[in-house]
Amino acid sequence: MTNRKSQVLIVDDEPAICQLISHLLEQEGLIPLVALDGKTALQQLRAASPDMLIVDLKLPDLDGLEILRQAKALDEDLPVVILTAHAKVPGAVEAMRAAAFDYLAKPYDHEDLVRVVHRALAERELKLRLKQFNRQTNANHDLTEIMGPSKAIGGLIADINRVAKSNFNVVIVGETGSGKEVVAQAIHGAGPRAKGPFVPVDSGAIPETLFEAELFGHEKGAFTGAIGRKPGRFEVASGGTLFLDEILNLPLSAQAKVLRALQEKSFCRVGGTQPIKTDVRVLAAGNLDLDEAVAAGRFRADLFYRLSEFTLRIPPLRQRKEDILYLAKRFLDLTNQELKKAVLGFSEPAIQALLNYNWPGNVRQLRSTIRRSVLLARDVVTEQHLDILQEEHDAGRCVVPPTHGGTVTPATGLSLKTIVAQSTTAVEREILLQTLRQTGGNKAKAARLLQIDYKTIQSKIKQYGIIPNQGTL
């Protein structure tokens, strides 16, 4: 927030109410302005340009909705709170549809009024800061809408704008659901290759034996089932951008061939001998730092250096809570349009639940939660509609192994190190079994729940002899 005190215009034909609200606002360090009729209110709006408007729905000359519309015409970002003695009348719903920030029924709780005022002013400040930031950095507005207006995302957008204008290969690091492909598309769209193709590759969804054919294509008869020539992703992406998602799932054999293709700017299809020229910019993404995988020997250092000419890290949603309500409101509006509903917003307990939850699935999880909530809600989204505490409980169930009575009995002659290793193995296997039961044998979904990559869960399943959807489960 800025150091300037915010001005709040109060419009009500009852002087006692104006005086009471003024007193409450002054206690909060705000500057109240008062108008007892609509005509005076419009004059104040033009002369003083207040930061917020609190207006009674029923006035002697103009009603609150007309003042709301004219106020929005003067300042589209001005938050307006409607006061009404009849909260359930159609006028309250109409007020929300006319872009009121909120409405309060008389008699209202003083603490509720103060909370609404602070939320409205905070949202206005965020919007103004966002507009200023976008003017300064020429950031992609669509990306801001999708990811949020926080300082953390603002810094990310500035980095995207800087690197997009280059031809650097970029590594994008972020948790599941944080928007890695969205960032990759923004880099492509703002860069010199924007007119070329953007070709995404989900490395976690390709069987290890098919990686080379998927990336570089194959000739007819190159292997069983190759009934014709097929271009690979490197060939299709030539002149544009190749996005390698979940890059840590690339097997070492494929890593070597990707490195060679980047170094020589050419490759051969599987079963072919004729080199094919390619000119691609590679954007690679993962939910873990690649340098950790390099240190562990799971990723080639030379390919890492080739890919990581620049690194972008997407902060998780739990570290930028100011984006949560912005995105929740955006998803609510979009779902209202989709379902042709008029859900007005969120109850105060729902807002607190949204802010207090850690969102392990990040923006993707928030979007799914809001869509489901709007489907269930009638007027406002409540904490019960969100149901995120139950979600957290269900997710947690898959990682609670049986205690077997709560004791561990050491086997005779075994060292502590051996006992711990055996116990760890048993616990890990049990966690995998429970998670796969919960997901119906869906390995990709289980990997997301356990926050590991697809290749890791495949190797663990093989290591422990787990057969999804069969008798072992």
Rounded to whole angstroms, the Cα distance separating 315 from 252 reads 29
- Identify the helix (H) or strand (E) that includes residue 34: strand 31-35
Residues contacting residue 231 through CB under 8 Å, at least 6 positions apart: 217, 269
Write down the H helix ranges in 28-109. Answer: 38-48, 64-74, 90-97
Q: Determine contact, residues 353/386, Cβ cutoff 8 Å.
A: yes
Count CB atoms within 10 A of the CB of residue 229: 14
pLDDT per position in the chain (473 positions), as tens? 445 688 999 999 999 999 999 999 999 999 999 999 999 999 888 888 899 999 998 888 888 888 998 888 888 889 999 888 765 555 555 555 557 888 888 888 899 999 999 999 988 887 776 665 554 444 455 777 788 889 899 899 989 989 998 999 999 998 888 889 999 999 998 888 888 889 998 887 787 778 888 888 888 877 777 777 788 889 888 889 999 998 888 888 889 899 999 988 888 888 888 888 888 999 999 887 777 888 888 889 999 999 999 999 999 999 998 899 999 999 999 999 999 998 888 988 899 999 999 898 899 999 999 999 999 998 899 988 987 755 444 444 444 444 444 444 454 455 665 566 666 777 788 888 888 877 777 787 788 788 787 778 877 887 777 765 543 34
Residues contacting residue 359 through CB under 8 Å, at least 6 positions apart: 316, 317, 318, 324, 365, 366
The half-sphere exposure of 461 on its side-chain side, counting CA atoms within 13 A, is 25
Buried b (16+ CB within 10 A) or exposed e, 112-126: ebbebbebbbebbeb
Quote the longest CA-to-CA distance of the chain: 93
Q: Determine contact, residues 146/178, Cβ cutoff 8 Å.
A: no
Domains in the chain (CATH in brackets) are: 7-131 (3.40.50.2300), 139-313 (3.40.50.300), 319-397 (1.10.8.60), 407-463 (1.10.10.60)
Count CB atoms within 10 A of the CB of residue 428: 14
pLDDT value at position 403?
Answer: 43
Judged by DSSP in three states, 54 sits in strand
pLDDT value at position 192?
Answer: 84
Which of 221, 219, 267, 218 has the alpha carbon at shortest distance from 242? Answer: 267
pLDDT value at position 468?
Answer: 56
C-alpha pair distances (Å), 204 with each of 80, 169, 270, 437: 48, 20, 21, 21
Write down the H helix ranges in 49-178. Answer: 64-74, 90-97, 110-137, 141-147, 151-164
The residues that bridge with 171 in the sheet, in sequence order, are 284, 311
C-alpha pair distances (Å), 137 with each of 16, 155, 156: 47, 10, 11
Residue carrying structure tokens 């408007």: 53
C-alpha pair distances (Å), 221 with each of 227, 229, 235, 254, 294: 6, 8, 19, 21, 36
Residues contacting residue 154 through CB under 8 Å, at least 6 positions apart: 130, 133, 137, 139, 144
Question: pTM, whole model, 2 decimals?
Answer: 0.55
Rounded to whole angstroms, the Cα distance separating 97 from 86 reads 17
pLDDT value at position 284?
Answer: 93
pLDDT value at position 465?
Answer: 74
pLDDT value at position 324?
Answer: 93
pLDDT value at position 15?
Answer: 93
Q: Determine contact, residues 129/149, Cβ cutoff 8 Å.
A: yes
The residues that bridge with 201 in the sheet, in sequence order, are 244
Write down the H helix ranges in 179-307. Answer: 180-190, 211-216, 233-236, 252-264, 290-295, 301-307
C-alpha pair distances (Å), 47 with each of 59, 93, 189, 323, 380: 21, 29, 42, 32, 35
Rounded to whole angstroms, the Cα distance separating 289 from 426 reads 28
- Omega within 30 of 0 (cis) for the link into 107: yes
Q: State the virtual CA torsion across 338, 344, 349, 355 in degrees, nearest 10.
A: 50
Q: Determine contact, residues 255/213, Cβ cutoff 8 Å.
A: no
Write down the H helix ranges in 191-320. Answer: 211-216, 233-236, 252-264, 290-295, 301-307
